[in-house]
């Protein structure tokens, strides 16, 4: 995604898992790029493995990465049983600016 007005801001990254099969896990990483083609050697943010439905949020401070104009999400799934069928994850990743109490009161 192109960041536009979100460049250089403190962001809230949320992972919402609404469907999963037991004995499966997913790990999400967020990568940054200046031009949308080179994504670097390591992610800007790694969300640890999750195995349960829920909403998991964390912060990404892009003030530390002023060169980043694009974000990309990657995920890796794994299972720890012997089932041969495919994975099942229903998920959504959202990005929004962090609003402080002062900003919320003014808005």
pLDDT in tens, 84-94: 667 677 889 99
Question: What's the domain count of the chain?
Answer: 1
* Residue 52 belongs to a domain: yes
Whether 62 contacts 11, CB under 8 Å: yes
Overall size of the chain counted in residues: 107
* pLDDT number for residue 2: 96
**What residues pair up with 104 in beta bridges, in sequence order?**
none
- Reading the block at residue 48, the tokens are 């640890």
| Sign of the dihedral through C-alpha 57, 11, 89, 50 | negative
* Residue 105 belongs to a domain: no
* Residue 107 belongs to a domain: no
Predicted structure pTM score: 0.82
Q: Can you count the helices (H) and strands (E) in the chain?
A: 1, 6
* pLDDT number for residue 83: 65
Residue 14 is part of which domain span? Answer: 4-99
């Amino acid at each position: 995604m192109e960041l536009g007005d979100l460049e250089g801001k403190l962001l809230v990254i949320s992972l919402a898992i609404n469907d999963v099969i037991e004995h499966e896990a997913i790990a999400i990483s967020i990568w940054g790029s200046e031009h949308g083609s080179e994504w670097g050697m390591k992610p800007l943010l790694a969300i640890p493995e999750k195995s349960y439905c829920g909403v998991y949020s964390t912060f990404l401070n892009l003030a530390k990465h002023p060169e980043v104009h694009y974000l990309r999400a990657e995920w890796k799934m794994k299972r720890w049983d012997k089932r041969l069928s495919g994975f099942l994850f229903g998920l959504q990743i959202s990005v929004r600016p962090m609003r402080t109490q002062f900003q919320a009161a003014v808005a």
